[in-house]
Amino acid sequence: MKPIRILLVAVIAFAATLSLVMVKAQKKKLPEADCGRTAGLGYDDTPMLPDQPWRVHDIKRPQPRTIAPGTESSQQSPGRAPSDAVVLFDGKDLSQWTNHPKKKDLGNITWKVENGYVEVVPYAGDLVSKEKFGDAQYHIEWAAPAKPCGTSQWRGNSGVLIMSNYEIQVLDNDHNPTYADGMAGSIYGQWPPLVNPARARGEWQMYDIAFEAPVFEGEKLVKPAYVTVFLNGVLVQHHQKIIGRMTHRQVAQYRPHGATEPLSLQDHEVPVRYRNIWVRPLRGYDQP
């Protein structure tokens, strides 16, 4: 037999042996879980957790509330809010909102509700929620106009004004050059988004925001606001400290306000659309 044939036979034999060994390994029976085993519900003799009034695995620690988590949105249809959320807009009406038109001679105009969304009507003024919020989780979906109009800060501009003061910018980020701290996903005039995960103009974009309200004692700020923002599921602000209330061409500063304030959506005179808006007021740990 030629050496090359010997080598070929050896390789085939080795491969066959290896596959046999693998098949045998797969057939080896795994141990079954023992469903009869039981465990205690916690402990009362474990060490105390640092800076907490609870022990490790404390049996007395309150159980968190159980809620239904809601469903995801698609481009075609909005998802459902978690069961404990305050639904501010479900595509039907503006019963949870008020607004103050910018120009008195326009009369009592408001934003346009149709086809499951609400659209900015230029000069109708910011849409302001009737309910007020402090620490909260926000879910807001928006779409810049499919037909581009204007450039930079005039293209698809609106904004999520948390506590009516702190703007998470809404803008058309689709091939629309502008200053970084004015892009969608920015804390306007303060921090650009970490990346630009915006979809094409005309498509639905999704904000998920966790907000820690600032704390004032009289006129004095004793704790600044912090915000975490996901745009289309991508982290764009990571527990970022907010410098102050939204302003233009100035360094933002705080102005004292209540412990809770309404959510506002900005009328920047561009027909941006919103849908599926809900808020979960946040409580701390161990407050079921």
Q: Where does residue 182 rank: exposed (0-12), middle (13-18), buried (19+ CB within 10 A)?
A: middle
Which segment (15-23, 30-38, 71-79, 158-166) binds Mg ion by CB under 5 A?
158-166
State which residue has the least CB distance to Mg ion.
159
Which segment (32-40, 91-99, 152-160, 208-216) binds Mg ion by CB under 5 A?
152-160
Residue 125 binds Mg ion (CB under 5 A): no
Least distance in angstroms from the C-beta of 140 to Mg ion: 13
Which segment (24-32, 39-47, 159-167, 210-218) binds Mg ion by CB under 5 A?
159-167
Among 125, 156, 159, 262, binds Mg ion (CB under 5 A): 159
Question: Measured between alpha carbons, how far is 95 from 108 in angstroms, rounded to an integer?
Answer: 15
Least distance in angstroms from the C-beta of 240 to Mg ion: 17
**Subset of residues 210 to 269 that bind Mg ion, contact rule: CB under 5 A:** 266
Helices (H), the chain: 3-27
Question: Measured between alpha carbons, how far is 271 from 266 in angstroms, rounded to an integer?
Answer: 11
Nearer residue to Mg ion within complex by CB, 157 or 205? 157
- DSSP assignment of 137-188: EEEEEEE--SS--SSGGGSS-EEEEETTTEEEEE---SS----GGGSTTSBT
**What is the token pair recorded at 202?**
């005309």
The answer to whether 261 and 163 are in contact (CB under 8 A) is yes
Nearer residue to Mg ion within complex by CB, 157 or 165? 157
Least distance in angstroms from the C-beta of 164 to Mg ion: 13
- Number of residues near Mg ion (by CB under 5 A): 3
Least distance in angstroms from the C-beta of 247 to Mg ion: 12
- Reduce the DSSP state of residue 252 to 3 states and report it: coil
Question: Measured between alpha carbons, how far is 277 from 279 in angstroms, rounded to an integer?
Answer: 7
Which segment (50-58, 60-68, 156-164, 190-198) binds Mg ion by CB under 5 A?
156-164
Give the footprint of Mg ion on this chain (CB under 5 A): 157, 159, 266
